[in-house]
Structure 1
Amino acid sequence: MTLHSHIFQVVVAALALVCGGAALDALVHPRPRHGLRSVPGLVINAGVLLGVFGAILALCGNPLVACALSLGLGALFTVASNAKNTMLGEPLLFSDLALIGAVFRHPQFYLSAVAPWQRAVASLVALALVALLCLLFRADGVMHLAGLALALGAVGMLAILQGSPAFRAIAATPDPHGDVARHGLVPVLLLYWRRWRDTRDPPPCPASGRPARGDAPELVVVIQCESFADPADLFDDAALALPGLDAARGLAWQHGRLHVSGFGAYTMRTEYGVLFGREEAELGFRRFDPFLTAQGEGSWALPARLRPAGWDSAFLHPHDMRFYGRDRIMPAGGFARLVGETHFAPPAPDQGRYVTDAEMTDVILDTVQAASAPTLLYAVTIENHGPWAGEGQEELVPGYLRLVRNSDAMLARLADGLAALARQRGKPAALVFFGDHCPSIPGATTPAGKRHTPFVIMRFDDAGQPMRGDDTAADLTPAGLHHAILDMMLEPAR
């Protein structure tokens, strides 16, 4: 094969790839209102595709296979992004790619949320790509070198473009829907990753020197409840009201709606907000997965801020603490102890996939009973992660209602238990209970609907009697809830 023939094959495959890539990107939601994506977006999309094409060509030596594999990867990204956008109301983001390892370590968390046909399509495409690579491999030194040169050239072009003033002005602030519509999926993945990488840790949280309040509770239990929403509000049906939640609201120091940013997922966004107290506007591009960088922000976390005032702390979660890096983040945030999955009895065969809220309640009450110093206990539940029964909507909604009632029973038991403990010890206590996000139930809930979850703060005096606040109803962000907890425990800043 002559050099001219090699060049011709590479050029034809590259042109086909760029055109096919643009066609695939046109299928990604959200789409632009008029015409094509932006010119910078099309240029970046072409550059990334050519870089991938070159890398695969350098490995396999076959331009046809390299083109097919590159388009196949583009198709996988398109399917994944559209499925996520439908289910969670957000296109694929760079931070989702950081979870690929977690998908393999904990597949049950993710695969149960993807439709069977989508799993089947993804599996078939992946197998076809591997088969193509193996069957059509070609040992051709010129092609291998051409691929390497193309990959390096594409990477260099992208680096130069991203450093230019015109491209630095693109996607300068987080707006996933708007930016994908304007520029396309692949450009937003790359640009957002670059913006995220350039974001620096905040300076350490200033030491406030705030002592513990004289009327502060000596036991504070914070419950981050998986997929906990008020069914009466979520489904607009008063008959579905939760008795424990209603009773807690009636006796609360403060309660209201927690305005979480995620829908159906992204527990870590709410968890970060409540623990670290930084609003998403402060985080910039870190907002999409603040746990990726939270280890460098430990001084802002609740237990780190409470420790100088003499507070002990424990973090409870009945799952592998390596998930989302909690085994590193929570100690960096000041938690003295981690209570992980080995401390909880596994669910019985008829109790679902995850540790039950009833078991969580038992362990929490045992833990606070043993506390001898002022203690903050932060617990993350998992039972209501699902699955919520079968594939049909008529099974999913009743399944969700059954599990959310178990969470409601947990709220009622913890309120009674902390009131009794406050009375027994003659020392005040508090319970903070909130949902991390609304459930994504196909056909029943949508990302365009209600996203807020309930929160309730209950305080018990040294006789175990509920204490009512002056203004009990409120709307808070997760970071706002962090400061409400902090202000309940420490003296006001001077």
Structure 2
Amino acid sequence: MFDGLLAGWGLLASACAWPIALGLIATVLIERLAQPRPQAIWRRPWAMNALLVCAWAGLFCFELALFQRPAFAAVLATGLLLLLVLISNSKFHSLREPFIVQDFEYIADAIRHPRLYLPFFGVAKALFCTALFFALLYLGVALEDSVLNSVSYAVYWSAWAGLVLAVCLAVQLLRRAVPAMQFCPTQDQQQFGFFATLFAYYWAEQRHPQLTPPTWPMPQPNQGVLPHLLVVQSESFVDFRRYYPQIRSDILSEYDRFCAESLQYGQLAVPAWGANTVRSEFAFLSGLSPQQLGVHQFNPYRRFARQYSASLAAQLRQQGYRTVCIHPYAASFYHRDALYPQLGFDEFIDISAFAPPPAGMPYVDDLQVAAKIGEVLAQATQPTFIFVITMENHGPLHLEQLAAGDAEQVYHGAAPKDGEELTIYLRHQANANRMLAQLRAQLTALSRPATLCWYGDHVPILPKVYATHGEPSGNTDYFIWQTPREGGETIKPHHHPLAAHQLAGEILRSWR
């Protein structure tokens, strides 16, 4: 019996040898297509190259279990890694960051919310990859016989189990040899390779850092009472007038007025570019910097936030505030519905509380959000903290259509070359400006004093505009404003650049 197993294993090994060899060679070449390009394998630590082999071998084992065809399994495993590199390159083109392990969660989100993700990969590319997969599936099954026609089930599954065990043991041993990451995805990928960096980030994410929460300043009464606090995280809000002089200055007239009357304003360094709103969002709510969060900075809501309760909302709730989040999108997105109670919010108002967006607009508009804020404030019987996450200016902007007269309303003279997406962005930004006017009227009509903080979460994705007219720095803009005090002195605004994790502390200090 043992001689039969040995003979069968030898036959199986010979059938798998050339597909494995060619698959590994192809994988090394495929990784060289990744952007930014990893350095050559002979310049990397040996453990990272071994993890590259394990990444391919793990997928090969999975496909082999499904189809029992070594050559077909090798093609599928290599094809899946190629698809991952193509997705990464699309992300790098739009967001200046390669695919990282936290992004696997977005694959499921792309199925549930395709408009937010699929257009950036490309509909044609997605259809081509889908068609190619089914073509390979048909050809692989039709052209290659199952190895179970040549060896017994006992030989096949014992060999398969041995290979899986070897891969798993290798991965566990290599875990100890992985060098420290910088948690700068572009640099880590260049230094260690695309696939090995995925392993390293996954392992790093399993560790929960022991961090000292920020010492929030205690809220102080304004005119004898605690003020309402309204914070608006405005989708993709950036004052692009400093980059593109053809934009009309009055498009943000209300924003300019708020800055002129604010306690302080300026540019805001945010830990996101083009997307990944939760990075800026959690930085504001937690007061923790990207350096403190380490690998958890990329999506703090996956693991870290589930064990973090020292947020601004929790601090204010302890001081007697009612805490409300308003976000005109699905509450389950980024698991906010489960995480926000942990972070100290009493209520989450999501898209179910809003009317459908106006014709031609994909998301709930900013003026609807302003009206909802007014409703919450009108019903408030205690100091209230409202954290707002707007959606109107969320991309993909290239899916929207320009209307007659849009360019004339946002530019001096003719529209800039390749500026269609910028025009659409500015059209939405004009609505954000109208939202600010509405908020001013609501806040100044209250009997309780109020503070308004407004900031952008990241720059918008405008690749054609940036390629033709130059790329912004990545900073957004903010201001902190208080309703005028009766008989109070005129406030001279202070221009002060900040980082997103410093902003909540500045708000609380402004009340002292």
TM-score, normalised to structure 1, is: 0.90
| Deviation of the 1:174 alpha carbon | 1.1
Pairwise CA distance, 1:114:
2.7
Partner Cα distance (1:317, 1:294) in 2: 21
Partner of 2:23: 17
Deviation of the 1:464 alpha carbon: 9.9
User: Quick one: structure 1 residues 265 and 374, their matched pair in 2 at CA, closer, same or farther if it must change by over 3 Å?
Assistant: same
Q: Given the alignment of the two structures, is residue 250 of structure 1 paired with residue 260 of structure 2, yes or no?
A: yes
Q: Deviations over 1:385-440 (max 9, x none)?
A: 1342558944322111111111121122212321232xxx1x32111111111001
Q: CA deviation at 1:477?
A: 1.1
Q: State how many pairs are aligned.
A: 479
Counterpart in the other structure of 1:121:
128
Q: Which residue of 1 aligns with 2:230?
A: 221
| 1:477 aligned onto 2:485 | no
- 1:315–1:338: 8 Å Cα contact kept in structure 2? yes
Residue matched to 2:78: 71
Q: Which residue is equivalent to 2:452?
A: 431
**8 Å CA contact retained: 1:218, 1:373:** no
Map 1:34-183 → 2, pairs under 5 A:
38=44, 39-131=46-138, 135=142, 138=146, 140=148, 141=153, 142-163=155-176, 167-168=177-178, 170-183=179-192
Q: CA deviation at 1:122?
A: 3.0
Shift of 1:325: 0.8
* Structure 1 gap segments, 5+ residues each: none
**Is the alpha carbon distance of 1:11 and 1:483 closer, same or farther for their aligned partners in structure 2, counting shifts above 3 Å?**
same
Aligned-CA RMSD value:
2.6
For 1:426-469, what per-residue CA distance to the aligned partner results, in whole angstroms no more than 9, with x for missing partners? Answer: x3211111111100112113796420111111111344989625
Stretches of structure 2 that go unaligned for 5 or more consecutive residues are 1-6, 402-417
Distance in 1 between the 2:325 and 2:487 partners?
24
Q: Which moved more, 1:180-189 or 1:3-12?
A: 3-12
| 8 Å contact kept, 2:41–2:49 | no
1:230-274 CA-partner distances (Å, limit 9, x unpaired): 121243545355212212111111100111121110000000011
C-alpha change, 1:448 and 1:41, in structure 2 (3 Å) is farther
- The alignment status of 1:376 with 2:385, answered yes or no, reads yes
Q: 1:78 to 1:122 in 2, by over 3 A?
A: same
Residue 62 (structure 1) shift = 0.7
Deviations 1:135-164 (A, max 9, x none): 55726133444333222211211111112x
Say whether the 8 Å CA contact 1:264–1:440 is kept in structure 2.
yes
- Secondary structure of the 1:81 match is helix
Distance of 2:271 and 2:214 partners within structure 1: 27
- Over the matched positions of the two proteins, sequence identity in percent amounts to 27
Separation (CA, whole Å) in 2 of partners of 1:32 and 1:359: 47
The residue aligned with 1:395 is 420
1:220 CA drift (Å): 1.2
Give the distance between the partners of 2:66 and 2:390, measured in 1 at CA: 46
Secondary structure (helix, strand or coil) at the match of 2:386 reads strand
> Aligned to 1:15, what secondary structure does the other structure show?
helix
Say if 1:434 and 1:455, in contact at 8 Å, map to a contact too: yes
Contact 2:218 / 2:508 at 8 angstroms: preserved in 1? no
Aligned equivalents of 1:256 and 1:412: distance in 2? Answer: 19
Which residue of 1 is the match for residue 277 of structure 2?
A: 267
Change (3 A) 1:378 1:129: farther
Residues 48-90 of structure 1 deviation map (CA, whole Å, 9 limit, x = unaligned): 1112112221222110111011011011011011111111000
Instruction: State which structure, 1 or 2, has the greater radius of gyration over its C-alpha atoms.
Output: 2
Q: 1:457 maps to which residue?
A: 480
The equivalent residue for 2:438 is 413
Relative distance call for 1:269 and 1:209 in structure 2 (3 A) is closer
One-letter code aligned to 1:19:
I
Normalised TM-score (structure 2): 0.87
Distance 1:121 1:148 in 2: 34
